[in-house]
């Protein structure tokens, strides 16, 4: 099995992560609305051929994380959707203005799975891991946890910065990630950081 590598193809203050096992790749978080040109340029700059992206996965359906999902689908990147995310997809357009050039995400061609099916699907891409439901920032938030402890958490709120979120739900999501072996956080915004074993104790 090839070694798994991670590169950031993000722009406009959101991280978009490409996880690769050789030429089998996943894109985690899917660009801003109307930004397919920027996405293509960013992939090119990081030597990621678009046609090698096996799936695109949005950590949650907010415009800075899933805005270009339909544009990516039309460019040949299948959209991987968790069953807990289906309801959130049609709500995306509420947060867009006409000048954003948001392309509405259709259900056509989407691969919809449950979190319990994610391990097998990832296995088929050669990228060991699982997708975990991690509500807190939004009900449809999921995290991609790799076998090496790297975890892509989108906007899962840091426990120190809980505002309007339910702190219990946020903490339960972090606890679930930690119990499953998460050690390094790849967030939707900002730099990566290590998840220490005593991390949650500070917030209980
Ligand atoms: Zn965000």
Are 19 and 146 a contacting pair, CB within 8 Å?
A: yes
Cα(169) to ligand 1 centroid in Å equals 18
Cα(1) to ligand 1 centroid in Å equals 33
Are 128 and 146 a contacting pair, CB within 8 Å?
A: yes
Are 84 and 142 a contacting pair, CB within 8 Å?
A: yes
Region 173-193 average pLDDT? 97
Cα(35) to ligand 1 centroid in Å equals 15
**Rounded distance between C-alpha atoms, residue 159 and residue 147, angstroms:** 24
State yes or no: pLDDT of 200 exceeds 90.
no
Cα(65) to ligand 1 centroid in Å equals 6
Task: Summarize pLDDT for 96-151 with one digit per residue, the tens.
Answer: 999 999 999 999 999 999 999 999 999 999 999 999 999 999 999 999 999 999 99
Cα(30) to ligand 1 centroid in Å equals 11
Cα(2) to ligand 1 centroid in Å equals 31
Cα(163) to ligand 1 centroid in Å equals 15
* DSSP-assigned beta bridge partners for residue 166: none
State yes or no: pLDDT of 1 exceeds 70.
no
Cα(138) to ligand 1 centroid in Å equals 11
Concatenate the DSSP letters of all residues of 49-98 into one string. -GGGEEEEE-SS-SHHHHTTHHHHHHTT-PEEEEGGGGGGGGGGGGG--G
Confidence of residue 199 (pLDDT cuts 50, 70, 90): confident
Cα(66) to ligand 1 centroid in Å equals 10
Task: Summarize pLDDT for 33-86 with one digit per residue, the tens.
Answer: 999 999 999 999 999 999 999 999 999 999 999 999 999 999 999 999 999 999
State yes or no: pLDDT of 204 exceeds 80.
no
């Amino acid at each position: 099995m090839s070694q798994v590598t991670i590169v950031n193809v993000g722009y406009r203050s959101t991280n978009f992560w490409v996880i690769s096992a050789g030429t089998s790749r996943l894109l985690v978080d899917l660009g801003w609305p109307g930004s397919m040109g920027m996405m293509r340029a960013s992939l090119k700059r990081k030597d990621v051929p678009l046609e090698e992206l096996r799936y695109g996965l949005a950590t949650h359906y907010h415009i800075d994380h899933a805005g270009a999902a339909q544009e990516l689908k039309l460019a040949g990147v299948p959209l991987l959707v968790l069953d807990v995310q289906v309801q959130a997809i049609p709500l995306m357009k509420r947060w867009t203005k006409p000048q954003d050039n948001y392309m509405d995400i259709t259900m056509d061609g989407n691969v919809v799975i449950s979190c319990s099916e994610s391990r097998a699907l990832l296995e088929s891409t050669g990228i060991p891991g699982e997708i975990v439901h991690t509500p807190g920032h939004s009900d449809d938030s999921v995290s991609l946890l790799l076998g090496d402890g790297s975890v892509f958490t989108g906007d899962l709120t840091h426990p120190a910065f809980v505002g309007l979120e339910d702190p219990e739900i946020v903490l339960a999501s972090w606890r679930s990630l930690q119990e499953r072996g998460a050690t390094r956080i790849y967030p939707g915004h900002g730099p990566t950081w290590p998840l220490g074993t005593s991390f949650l104790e500070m917030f209980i």
